Amino acid sequence: MNAKSLLGLLAVVSLGVLFWWGIKTKDAREELPSALAGKSAPVFEMELLDSFKAEWGEKLNLADYLGKKPIILNFWASWCYPACYQEAPILEAGWRRWRDKVMFIAVDTQDEKDKGEEFVSRFGFTFPVVYDPRGSIGIDYGMYGVPETFAITRKGRVVERHAGSLDEAMLTKMVQEVLK
Amino acid sequence: MRRWLLAAVLLLGIAAAQTVGNKPPPDYPPKVFEIAKKLRCPVCRGESAAESNAGVTEEMRRQIAQMLKEGKSEDEIIQYFVDRYTDWILYEPPKKGLGLLVWLAPLIGLGLFGLGLYSYTHATAKREAAFEEAPEDEIARVEAEIARDSTRERE
């Protein structure tokens, strides 16, 4: 093989490697890896939306629930339309179905409180929702955007993350994963 | 009088427009923005956490300012976000692994271009040298052949 062919081969291989890398690099939020996979769920203590204070107390501390039951942690906001509106009834139905085995907690993130309350009453949420106007819990969980859902085992490990609207099958899969 | 009244109303309107719904940004030290520039806005495309106005980046800048106040170094702060978002959060690809390829790609391209240019000029020079080195009787023979061909074409 002469120098010219070697040079051509090198150029083709380099372009091929760059092309492969470009394809491999994922940017769709739902395909991005979670840095938390397999790690302990970050704990937080945050004020609940007013509707939940009578039943769940003034604040919710995640540490109080870790170790008792697996947790489905969901992030939403009233301005997140239509994704959060599509999955809201599925979450409430899931909570009613699995509440004996799995704890559901939601975080209303970067929202206006009254709009968050409206959302809660519209979908009749009965599982606790904390109010995080700054979105600091979302940063702790490496959240890319709402809605996003994390499955946490009873031992407090994050085993799955889903970015985007949940459907029934996805929620069932997440619940089965944490109940293993 | 009417003119003065109109001017006063206009000025009041401008003053109101400056304050209503136009909250000044928090007065962070420049170091906060220097660090935020190195991080991606998680909910935007192609924007750093320093440029974006998304709520999450406002919180990121607030957290950076808080960590600087606590005496954390730039590396520690960046690592804090990498621990939560993976290397994806870095605005510039990391200079390791495949990210290194992105940094080296222009150099590799330049090197390949240089090599190509060298081999082309080298080959051209070689061809010219071969022509210059051709024996005189061979040149005369080729010239005669060309002359013969053109005479035939004229006939």
Closest CA to A107 of A81, A86, A80: A80
**DSSP secondary structure string for all residues of chain A:** --HHHHHHHHHHHHHHHHHHHHHHS--SGGGSPPTTTTSBPPP-EEEBPHHHHHHH-SEEEGGGTTTTS-EEEEEE-TT-TTHHHHHHHHHHHHHHHHTTT-EEEEEEES--HHHHHHHHHHHT--S-EEEESS-HHHHHTT--SSSEEEEE-TTSBEEEEEES---HHHHHHHHHHHH-
Shortest Cα distance, chain B CAs vs residue A180, angstroms: 25
Cα–Cα distance for residue pair A160/A83, rounded to 1 Å: 19
Find chain A residues with C-beta within 8 A of B67's C-beta. none
Q: What is the pLDDT of residues B37-57, one digit of tens each?
A: 999 999 888 899 999 999 999
Cα–Cα distance for residue pair A178/A69, rounded to 1 Å: 9
pLDDT at A16 over 90: no
Q: Report pLDDT for B1.
A: 55
* B95 vs B121: which has the higher pLDDT: B121
Query: Taking a C-beta distance cutoff of 8 angstroms, is the pair A125, A93 a contact?
Result: no
pLDDT at B81 over 70: yes
Cα–Cα distance for residue pair A178/B6, rounded to 1 Å: 69
Q: Report pLDDT for A90.
A: 98
Neighbours of A50 (CB within 10 A): 14
Count of CA atoms in the C-beta half-sphere (13 A) of A20: 8
Cα–Cα distance for residue pair A140/A52, rounded to 1 Å: 23
In chain A the first and final C-alpha atoms are separated, in Å, by 58
Shortest Cα distance, chain B CAs vs residue A97, angstroms: 31
Quick check: B86 and A11 CB within 8 A? Answer: no
Shortest Cα distance, chain A CAs vs residue B101, angstroms: 8
Taking the domains of chain B in order of start, what are their residue ranges?
26-89, 97-154
For B43, the closest of A4, A36, A145 (CB atoms) is: A145
Q: Which two tokens stand for residue A33?
A: 């890896």
**How high does pLDDT run on average in chain B?**
81
Q: Report pLDDT for B19.
A: 43
Q: Which two tokens stand for residue B153?
A: 């074409």
Domains held by chain A: number: 1
Quick check: A139 and B60 CB within 8 A? Answer: yes
Find chain A residues with C-beta within 8 A of B83's C-beta. 35
Q: Which two tokens stand for residue A124?
A: 């009749």
Quick check: B42 and A10 CB within 8 A? Answer: no
Q: Considering the domain boundaries, does residue A65 fall inside one?
A: yes
Residue of B nearest to A139 (CA): B84
Quick check: B115 and A17 CB within 8 A? Answer: no
> What mean pLDDT do residues A37-51 have?
95
Output the domain CATH number for residue A124.
Answer: 3.40.30.10
pLDDT at B17 over 50: no
Q: Which two tokens stand for residue A19?
A: 């092309």
pLDDT at B127 over 70: yes
> What mean pLDDT do residues A135-145 have?
94
Q: Which CATH architecture has domain B26-89?
A: Orthogonal Bundle (1.10)
Cα–Cα distance for residue pair B102/A111, rounded to 1 Å: 38
For A144, the closest of B43, B60, B102 (CB atoms) is: B43
Best probe of the B interface among A17, A80, A139, by most B CBs < 10 A, is A139
> What mean pLDDT do residues A91-118 have?
98
Which residues, 6 or more positions from A69, have their beta carbon under 8 angstroms from its beta carbon? A101, A102, A103, A154
Q: Considering the domain boundaries, does residue A20 fall inside one?
A: no
Q: Considering the domain boundaries, does residue A30 fall inside one?
A: no
Of the listed ranges A172-176, B146-150, B151-155, the one predicted with least confidence: B151-155
Residue with tokens 């051709």: B134
Quick check: A145 and B42 CB within 8 A? Answer: yes
Q: Report residue B104's pLDDT band, with 50, 70 and 90 as the boundaries.
A: confident
Q: Considering the domain boundaries, does residue A2 fall inside one?
A: no
Cα–Cα distance for residue pair A50/A115, rounded to 1 Å: 12
Q: Report pLDDT for B112.
A: 79
In single-letter form, the type of residue at position A103 comes to M
Query: Taking a C-beta distance cutoff of 8 angstroms, is the pair A139, B63 a contact?
Result: yes
The ipTM of this complex is: 0.78
Q: Report residue A23's pLDDT band, with 50, 70 and 90 as the boundaries.
A: low
Range of the domain at A85: 37-179
Find chain A residues with C-beta within 8 A of B82's C-beta. 35
Q: Which two tokens stand for residue B39?
A: 């991080």
Q: Report residue B12's pLDDT band, with 50, 70 and 90 as the boundaries.
A: low
Q: Report pLDDT for B105.
A: 74
In single-letter form, the type of residue at position B53 comes to N
- Write down how long chain A is: 180
Residue of A nearest to B119 (CA): A4
Q: Considering the domain boundaries, does residue A21 fall inside one?
A: no
Cα–Cα distance for residue pair B139/B133, rounded to 1 Å: 10
Q: Report pLDDT for B20.
A: 43
Return the DSSP state at B89: G
> What mean pLDDT do residues B61-67 have?
96
Quick check: A135 and B56 CB within 8 A? Answer: yes
Quick check: A33 and B86 CB within 8 A? Answer: yes
Chains A, B: CB contacts within 8 A come to 63
Of the listed ranges A1-5, A57-61, B115-119, the one predicted with least confidence: A1-5
For A14, the closest of B43, B85, B108 (CB atoms) is: B108
Find chain B residues with C-beta within 8 A of A4's C-beta. 119
